[in-house]
Amino acid sequence: MKVGFIGLGNMGSAMARNLIKAGHALMVYNQTKSRAEELRPLGAKVASSPSEAASRAEALITMVTNDDAVEDVIFENGKAIDVLPTGGVHVSMSTISVALSRRLVAAHRERKQHFVAAPVFGRPDAAAAAKLFIAAAGPADQIARCQCLFDAMGQKTFVVGDEAPAANLVKVTANFLITTVIESLGEAFALIRKSGVEPEQFLEVLTGSLFAAPIFRTYGRMIAADNFEPVGFSMVLGMKDNRLVLSAAEDAAVPMPMASLIRDRMLTATAQGMGAADWAAIARISFQEAGL
Amino acid sequence: MKVGFIGLGNMGSAMARNLIKAGHALMVYNQTKSRAEELRPLGAKVASSPSEAASRAEALITMVTNDDAVEDVIFENGKAIDVLPTGGVHVSMSTISVALSRRLVAAHRERKQHFVAAPVFGRPDAAAAAKLFIAAAGPADQIARCQCLFDAMGQKTFVVGDEAPAANLVKVTANFLITTVIESLGEAFALIRKSGVEPEQFLEVLTGSLFAAPIFRTYGRMIAADNFEPVGFSMVLGMKDNRLVLSAAEDAAVPMPMASLIRDRMLTATAQGMGAADWAAIARISFQEAGL
Amino acid sequence: MKVGFIGLGNMGSAMARNLIKAGHALMVYNQTKSRAEELRPLGAKVASSPSEAASRAEALITMVTNDDAVEDVIFENGKAIDVLPTGGVHVSMSTISVALSRRLVAAHRERKQHFVAAPVFGRPDAAAAAKLFIAAAGPADQIARCQCLFDAMGQKTFVVGDEAPAANLVKVTANFLITTVIESLGEAFALIRKSGVEPEQFLEVLTGSLFAAPIFRTYGRMIAADNFEPVGFSMVLGMKDNRLVLSAAEDAAVPMPMASLIRDRMLTATAQGMGAADWAAIARISFQEAGL
Amino acid sequence: MKVGFIGLGNMGSAMARNLIKAGHALMVYNQTKSRAEELRPLGAKVASSPSEAASRAEALITMVTNDDAVEDVIFENGKAIDVLPTGGVHVSMSTISVALSRRLVAAHRERKQHFVAAPVFGRPDAAAAAKLFIAAAGPADQIARCQCLFDAMGQKTFVVGDEAPAANLVKVTANFLITTVIESLGEAFALIRKSGVEPEQFLEVLTGSLFAAPIFRTYGRMIAADNFEPVGFSMVLGMKDNRLVLSAAEDAAVPMPMASLIRDRMLTATAQGMGAADWAAIARISFQEAGL
C-alpha cells in the first residue's frame, strides 16, 4: 500500500520501520529531517514537506506530538489535507483530542477523503516489536482497508465504533487509567517502603495474583526500584494526555477526581524539574511527601 | 493436622470445607452456630466456644470480620489464647490491622505459642474453588508447617517476611490498590458512557491489552454493566479495610490522597444507603455525579 | 471624563449608572441593545457598535462576560482597538485571563494607547451601591487618571503593581479563595445539619468570632438556609473563573488541589442541572453526598 | 466561685490567671507542677492531684491536651468524677471529641453532677487578653451559672444548644474551617509569589475587602511572610483536631473532601519534620510543591 507517514519520533520511527518490513511503500516526513533520512536505506522515500508525503498516498498516517502538530501538518503549514487524493484515508495514530478528531472527520468528509482514528497503546519497545495495541474507529470499510497496516504495527486491533472520535476518547480514557495505576502504586510503595517491607516482595504478590497485568508489571518494576530510566514516555507528554482527558470530561460534564489529582501531581513534578522524566516519576512525589 | 477454625462467614466456610476435603481434622466455631453445624456432616467437630476450638489445636485459624472480632475470640470472651497448646500456631487469615498483628506477635510469644499472619486475596467464589492467593509472614518454620493448610485453600502462597505484621500491611495495601482500580474504572466508565461509547467495547480494549488482569476483568464487568449484584464484598467491610490502610499510613506518616478519596466515596455511598452493597458500587457515585 | 463603556450586564449596568451619576459623559454599548437604551434617559449616549463607543473615549471601560467577549469587542468584530484615540486608556474591569491581559498590554502599547486592568470584587448589589472593591494595575499615571472613575464605582481601590496582568492574577486568585470558602462552608454545614445542630447558631458563632468577614456572612447565610436565590453569580461564570485560576496556575507550574476540587464540584453541579444556579450552590453537592 | 482548674498549658494558664483576676477562688492542677506553682503567688491554691482540684469545686474546668488527657484526669488516674460534689459542674473547655462529650454527659448525670462543654476559639495571645470566643452548650441553668467564668476569660459566649456535644461539634467544625483557610491561602500565595506579585499587596487586597476577618489577617500575615514563628498552635495538635472532625463526620456519614486534603497535608508536614511547627506551616507544602 502507498503510505505517507508523518512523524518519526520514538514511536513513529519504529512503526514506520515495521510498515516497510511488511512491504508497504512509504514516503516519510519528519520535521527534523535526519530522522527521516535514517529510513531511506530501508527503502522509504523521504518527503520534503507534509504535503509531499500526502500527495500520492492511499493512506496518510500521522504520528506526531500533539493536537498542534496535527493541525500544523494537516491544515496549516503542511496543508496535507489539500493534496491527499480523493478517496484517500487519513489514519491519525497520535493521541489527540476528541475535539480535533471531530474536526478532522468533518474536514476530510468535505473533501471526499476518509478519516480513521487509530491511536496506539504501548511504549517504544512495544512499537519496535510490532506489539502495539490499536484502538480504531471510523467507517468499517476504511478500517478493513487499513487492517494490513495495523497488523504490521500491532499485535491486536480493537474496533471501538464507526465514529472516529470514539477511538480518541477510548485512548485518552485508557491513558487516564494508566496514570491512576502509576499514582496508586506510588502511594502504595511509599507505605510499603516506609514500613520496612521489601518492595520487591510486595510487587511479587501483586503481579503474581490479582494484578497480573502488563501495566502493573511495567510500572511496578520502575516504582519498586525507584528507577525511572530510561524515559519511555515523558512527563510533558503525560500532562498533555491528562489535559486531553480532563478536557473531554469537561465537555461532557463528568467530574474525574482522580484525573484532577494526577494533574496536580504532574504539575508538582514539573515544578520540581521532572518535566523531562518518565511520567511514572510522579511516584517520586509520594516518596518525597512520605519523607523517604 | 488438627485444626481449630474460628469464623465461618462466606469466606471462612468455604476455606474450612477445603481443609476438610484435604483430610485435616477440623473443630470449627462460629458465633451463629447453624453455620458450624453445616460442616458437621462433612466431618468437622463443632465447638461450643472459641476456646474449645483452640484447646486441642495444632493450628488455630481465625477468619473473622475485623479487629474487634479477633480480639473477642482470642483475648476477651473467647480467651482462646489461654488454651491454645504450647507450640501451637495461631494463623490469622482475616484482614486485620498492623497494630493488632503486632500485639498478637507479642502475646503469643509470651505464651510460647506461634503466630503467623496469612491474609487472603480473592472473593467467595475463589475461596470455594481453593483458588485464593495467600500472603504469609512469620517464622519460616511455622510457615512451612502451615503450607499444607495453605495449599488446601489457595492456589499460591507468597511469603513476605518473617515478621507477621508485614503480611497484614501487604494485605491492606493491596486492598487499597483494588479500591483505586474500582474508583478509576468508575470515573472512566462515567466518561465513556456519557460520551456515547459502548462500555463493553471499552472494557474489551482494556482487558485485551495492558489491563489484562483479573482485577480489571472482575470489577470492569460489574462497572461496565452497572450491576453490583451479587454482593461479594460489602461496602461496610470495604470501609473497614480503608480505615486499616489509612491507619497504617497515619502511623507511618505517609499521606495517601487516593486512599482519602476512596474514604470519601465510601462515606458518600454509605450516606446514600449503599452500606450493604458491594464495595464496587462506589462507581455509582461517579455515575450519579456525571448525571447518568 | 469621556467614557466609552462596553458591557451592560448586571454588574456593568450598575457601574455605568454610577459613572453617570458622578457626572461622567458616557457612551455605552451592549450586545442586547435594550439594556443600553435603559441608560439613555439617565444621560448616556448609546453606541451602535463597540468601535463607536471607543472612538471618542478618553477611557474605554470593558465589563463583559469573558475572554472571548473582550477579544470580540477589542480585536475582532468590534475592532475598538483600531479607533480608540492615541493616548486613550482601556480599562478592563472584567475578570479575564492573565494571558489575555498580557496580550492587551502589548497591543495597546503598539498603538500608543494605555492599558489598565482593574477587575472588581462584589456582587450586583455592591455594584449598585458603588461599594465595589477594585484591584488596579498598570502605569501609575494612568491609574491616577482613572481614579475618579474608580471612586464613582467602588468603595476602595487597591493598586497591586504597575504591570496590568498582576491585577488579573490577584482577581482570579481571590475568586479562588471565595470558592474555597463556599466549599468549606458546604462541607461544614453538611456535618452540622446532619448532626442535628442548628445551622443558624453555627453561623452566628462563625461570623461573631474569627470569621467576621463579608465573605462568610454572604455565603454563610445562603448555605445555612440552603437557599441560593436570587442568583448573584452563576455556576457557568464560576467555572470560567475556576478555569482562569487553574490556567494561570498551570502556566506557572503551581499545583492547587483545592482549585481542582472546586472544579470537580462545579462539573458535578453542572451535570446535575445547576449550571444556571448561583455558584454557591456547589454546597448542595455536599448536602447531597451526606444524604441530606 | 470555687473553681477547680485542671490543665495549665499556654492556653489554660492564661485562662486561669484571668479567673483569678476576676476574683474567683482557684485550686489549680497541672501534670508538670511548676506551671501550677507559678499561679500560687497570684492567689491560687495548688492541688497535688486532679481529684484534689475537683473535691471542693463548684465548677471544675478542664483545659487539657486531648481526649486521653480528659479521660485520664476525670475517669482513670485522676478520678476527679468520683469526688466532684453533687450539683457541681464540669466545664470542659478543651477541644475534645463529640463521642467523649457524650460519654461525659452520661457519666456526670449518673452522679448527679452537671456537664457543660465550652470549647474556646483563639490563640494564646487572645487567651491572655481575655479575648477568647466561647461556644457553650449544656443545660441552660448551668451555662447561666458559669457565665461569670466565661466573662472573665472571653470576649463573647455563644450558646449553641442544651446538649453539650453540640458545642464540641461546633468547635471541631470551626477548627476545620480554620484549616481550610490556611490551606487555601497556602495555595493562593504559592501562585501569587511564583507569578511575581508582591504577597503583601495581595494580602492587603484580601483583608481590605471581602476577607476582612481576623482569620485571614492572622494566617495571611504568617503565610505571606513565609514565617511561622512563634508557634501558636502546633501541627501535632492540628492533626488531633483534624482527626476529631473526620471522626465526627465518619460517625455521621458525611464526606468532607477538604478535611481529607488537610489530613494529607498535615501528614506530609509531619513526615518532613514539621510536627512541632505551627499548623499554618502546611502552607509550606504548597510552596515546596510549586518549587518555591
| Mean pLDDT of all residues in A204-221 | 93
pLDDT digits (tens, 9 = 90+) for B44-68: 999 999 999 999 999 999 999 999 9
D16, D17, D21, D26: CA torsion to nearest 10 = 40
* Residue A113 pLDDT: 98
Q: Is the separation of the CB atoms in B173 and A206 below 8 Å?
A: no
CB contact under 8 A, D215 and C211: yes
Residue D230 preceded by cis peptide, ω within 30: yes
Q: Which residues on A lie below 8 Å from D289 (Cβ)?
A: 267-268, 271-272
**Tally of CB atoms within 10 A around D112:** 10
Give the three-state DSSP class for A187: helix
pTM, full prediction: 0.94
Strands C2-6 and A25-29: unpaired
pLDDT digits (tens, 9 = 90+) for D233-278: 999 999 999 999 999 999 999 999 999 999 999 999 999 999 999 9
CB contact under 8 A, C259 and D187: yes
Distance CA D274, CA A291 (A): 11
CA triplet C208, C215, D286: central angle to 5 degrees? 105
Average predicted confidence (pLDDT) for chain D: 96
The amino acid at D92: S
CB contact under 8 A, B289 and C268: yes
Q: How far is A223 from chain D (nearest CA, A)?
A: 20
- Residue to substitute from B193, B260, B268, interface C, most C β-carbons within 10 A: B268
pLDDT digits (tens, 9 = 90+) for B234-268: 999 999 999 999 999 999 999 999 999 999 999 99
Nearest chain D residue to A286, by CA: D268
* Residue B43 pLDDT: 95
CB contact under 8 A, B205 and A290: no
Q: How far is D271 from chain A (nearest CA, A)?
A: 5
| Chain A / chain C CB contacts < 8 angstroms | 41
DSSP state of D186: H
* Residue C58 pLDDT: 97
Is it the case that residue A190 has pLDDT exceeding 90? Answer: yes
**Tally of CB atoms within 10 A around A148:** 14
Q: What contacts D93, CB < 8 A, 6 or more positions away?
A: D15, D61, D62, D63, D118, D119, D120, D134
Write the residue in A253, A261, A265 that is nearest to C267 by C-beta.
Answer: A253
- Residue to substitute from A236, A250, A267, interface C, most C β-carbons within 10 A: A267
Q: What contacts B17, CB < 8 A, 6 or more positions away?
A: B39, B42, B128
| Mean pLDDT of all residues in D281-290 | 98
- Cell numbers 480480639 correspond to B71
Question: For the range C13-16, what are the long-range contacts, defined as Cβ-Cβ under 8 Å and sequence gap of 24 or more?
Answer: C13/C38, C13/C39, C14/C124, C14/C127, C14/C128, C15/C61, C15/C63, C15/C93, C15/C120, C15/C127, C15/C132, C15/C153, C16/C44
Q: Which residues on C lie below 8 Å from D256 (Cβ)?
A: 187, 190-191, 286
Distance CA C82, CA C70 (A): 14
| Mean pLDDT of all residues in B17-32 | 97
CA distances from C142 to B120, C71, C113, D196 (A): 72, 22, 11, 21
* Residue A78 pLDDT: 85
Distance CA D15, CA D136 (A): 16
How many Cα neighbours within 13 Å face the side chain of C155? 15
- Cell numbers 497494630 correspond to B99
* H or E element, residue A124: helix A124-128
Closest listed residue to residue B285, CA positions, set C290, C185, A250? C290
What domains lie within chain A, and their CATH numbers? Answer: 2-163 (3.40.50.720), 169-289 (1.10.1040.10)
B216, B217, B222, B228: CA torsion to nearest 10 = -90
Nearest chain D residue to B274, by CA: D253
* Residue D232 pLDDT: 87
Is it the case that residue B137 has pLDDT exceeding 90? Answer: yes
Give the three-state DSSP class for D195: coil
CA distances from A177 to A31, B111, B258, C161 (A): 31, 49, 13, 44
Q: Is D129 on the interface with C (CB under 8 A)?
A: no
Write the residue in C267, C273, C289 that is nearest to B268 by C-beta.
Answer: C289
Is it the case that residue D40 has pLDDT exceeding 90? Answer: yes
- Cell numbers 506510588 correspond to A186
**The three grid cell numbers given for residue A202, joined into one nine-digit string:** 510486595
Q: How far is B287 from chain D (nearest CA, A)?
A: 17
CB contact under 8 A, C261 and D259: no
The one catalytic residue in B79, B131, B171, B194 is: B171
* Residue C185 pLDDT: 98
Q: What contacts A41, CB < 8 A, 6 or more positions away?
A: none
* Residue A123 pLDDT: 87
Q: Is the separation of the CB atoms in A191 and B252 below 8 Å?
A: yes
* Residue D219 pLDDT: 96
Distance CA A225, CA A242 (A): 25
Name residue A136's beta-bridge partners.
A159
Name residue B117's beta-bridge partners.
B92, B137
Q: Which residues on C lie below 8 Å from B272 (Cβ)?
A: 289, 291
CB contact under 8 A, D268 and B261: no
pLDDT digits (tens, 9 = 90+) for B177-208: 999 999 999 999 999 999 999 999 999 999 99
Considering only CA atoms, give the Rg of chain D.
Answer: 20
Residues of chain A above pLDDT 90, percent: 97
Complex ipTM:
0.94
CA distances from C214 to C184, D184, D214 (A): 15, 17, 12
**The three grid cell numbers given for residue C7, joined into one nine-digit string:** 458591557
Please, which residues 261-280 of chain C have a Cβ atom closer than 8 Å to chain B?
267-268, 271-273
Please, which residues 203-232 of chain B have a Cβ atom closer than 8 Å to chain A?
204-206, 208-216, 218
- Cell numbers 495495541 correspond to A133
Q: Which residues on C lie below 8 Å from A264 (Cβ)?
A: 255-257, 260
* Residue C232 pLDDT: 87
* Residue B78 pLDDT: 85
CB contact under 8 A, B255 and D261: no
How many Cα neighbours within 13 Å face the side chain of D103? 11
Write the residue in C271, C272, C291 that is nearest to B271 by C-beta.
Answer: C291
The one catalytic residue in A21, A33, A79, A171 is: A171
Low-confidence ranges of chain C (pLDDT < 50): none
Is it the case that residue D95 has pLDDT exceeding 90? Answer: yes
Is it the case that residue A232 has pLDDT exceeding 90? Answer: no
Q: What is the largest CA-CA distance in chain A?
A: 64
* Residue B172 pLDDT: 97
Name residue D29's beta-bridge partners.
D6
**Tally of CB atoms within 10 A around B247:** 15
Q: Which residues of C form the catalytic set?
A: 171
DSSP assignment of chain B: -EEEEE--SHHHHHHHHHHHHTT-EEEEE-SSHHHHHTTGGGT-EE-SSHHHHHHT-SEEEE--SSHHHHHHHHTSSS-GGGTSPTT-EEEE-S---HHHHHHHHHHHHHTT-EEEE--EES-HHHHHTT-EEEEEBS-HHHHHHHHHHHHHHEEEEEE--SSTHHHHHHHHHHHHHHHHHHHHHHHHHHHHHHTT--HHHHHHHHHTTTT-SHHHHHHHHHHHTT---S-SSBHHHHHHHHHHHHHHHHHTT---HHHHHHHHHHHHHHHTT-TTSBGGGGHHHHHHHTT-
Nearest chain A residue to C257, by CA: A264
The amino acid at C46: V
| Chain B / chain D CB contacts < 8 angstroms | 41
The amino acid at D47: A
CB contact under 8 A, D257 and B270: no
pLDDT digits (tens, 9 = 90+) for A65-86: 999 999 999 999 889 999 999 9
φ and ψ of C222, to 5 deg: -65, -45
Q: Is the separation of the CB atoms in B36 and B62 below 8 Å?
A: no
Strands C114-117 and C45-46: unpaired
DSSP state of A92: E
Q: Is the separation of the CB atoms in B164 and B105 below 8 Å?
A: yes
| Mean pLDDT of all residues in A164-181 | 97
Write the residue in C98, C160, C187 that is nearest to D201 by C-beta.
Answer: C160
Closest listed residue to residue B97, CA positions, set B161, B170, B169, B159? B169
- Residue to substitute from A187, A189, A233, A250, interface B, most B β-carbons within 10 A: A187
How many Cα neighbours within 13 Å face the side chain of D286? 29
CA distances from D12 to B164, C51, D172 (A): 44, 68, 18
Q: Is the separation of the CB atoms in C118 and C167 below 8 Å?
A: yes
Distance CA C1, CA C22 (A): 10
